[in-house]
Structure 1
Amino acid sequence: MQAITTYFNFMGNTEEALNFYKTIFGGEITALSRFSDMPGSEKMPAHERNKIMHMSLTTQSGAVLMATDFLESMEQRLAVGNNIHLVINTDSEKELEQLFDILSAGGKVEMPVNKTFWGAYFAMCEDRFGIKWMLNYNYPQNS
């Protein structure tokens, strides 16, 4: 396992929130993708395409804060308990699968293990204690 990172969910103000945290913790925005960058985004409601699909702030101390905007069209609602996930970055697909099987047992699978369009192996679940997890393995980049 490489690291455990926080992942916040917001209702349309992700960019504002992470820029606010940047003023507090320093660092730089290291990733920013909008839903309009996603394949099939032309089928989304126009008012949601500019919302944040993924954004990362790497602080001066090296901590990483990540976030996304929930989408009303997907019936996503912000509530205490679903506003944060813990992200585990793994060293292999196998490690991800093992951790996912253990964490999701007795809980709820939110997104099954799958290869993604952004070049990762990824899954989401809620464990039996109500903690939400994202598991991610980034495939090596061809140089």
Structure 2
Amino acid sequence: MLSINPYFNFMGTSEEAMTFYKSVFGGEFTILQRYKDIPGSEKWPVEEQDKIIHISLVTPKGHVFMATDALESMDQKITAGNICRITIHTENETETKKLFNGLSAGGKIEMPLNKTFWGALCGMITDKYGIQWMLNYTYPTNK
């Protein structure tokens, strides 16, 4: 594994919350993507276009906090127990598949492993104990 990070889910307050965490922990936003910036965004209601699909805060010590806004139009709701997901950044596809298959045994696959528009192999599950996980392998870029 390359790293493990908390991934917070908010109902429209990701930007506010992450700005607060930045004021507490320091650091910089390395990624800030809004729903309106991704392919297919025209499918979401106008009032959800400026919500955050992904934001990453890297602290001065290199810790990474990530977050997203849940969308009511996708019937996503935040309740106690689903406000945080543990994200594992893996080293290769093989490790990603192994961990995904292991953690999903007896659990619920929420997003099957698939290649994403951001250049990663990614999937999400809730394990049989109710812990939410995201597995993400970022493909190397040719420079």
TM-score bracket for this pair, using the shorter chain length: over 0.9
Q: RMSD of the alignment, in Å?
A: 0.6
TM-superposition CA deviations, 1:21-53 (whole Å, max 9, x none) = 011000111100000011111121000011000
AA in 2 matched with 1:6: P
Mapped to 2, the partners of 1:43 and 1:53 lie a distance apart of 14
SS at match of 1:82: coil
1:64 Cα deviation after fit? 0.2
The percentage of counterpart residues that share the same residue type is: 57
Question: Could you list the runs of 4 or more consecutive aligned residues of structure 1 that deviate by over 6 angstroms after TM superposition?
Answer: none
Match for residue 3 of structure 2? 3
1:126 has 2:126 as partner: yes
Match for residue 113 of structure 2? 113
Where structure 1 has 5 or more consecutive residues not aligned to the other structure, the ranges are: none
TM-superposition CA deviations, 1:63-107 (whole Å, max 9, x none) = 100000000000111101110000000000111000000000001
Where structure 2 has 5 or more consecutive residues not aligned to the other structure, the ranges are: none
Mapped to 1, the partners of 2:76 and 2:44 lie a distance apart of 14
1:61 Cα deviation after fit? 1.5
AA in 1 matched with 2:94: K
Mapped to 2, the partners of 1:124 and 1:110 lie a distance apart of 5
TM-score (norm 1): 0.98
Match for residue 85 of structure 1? 85
Mapped to 2, the partners of 1:101 and 1:140 lie a distance apart of 23
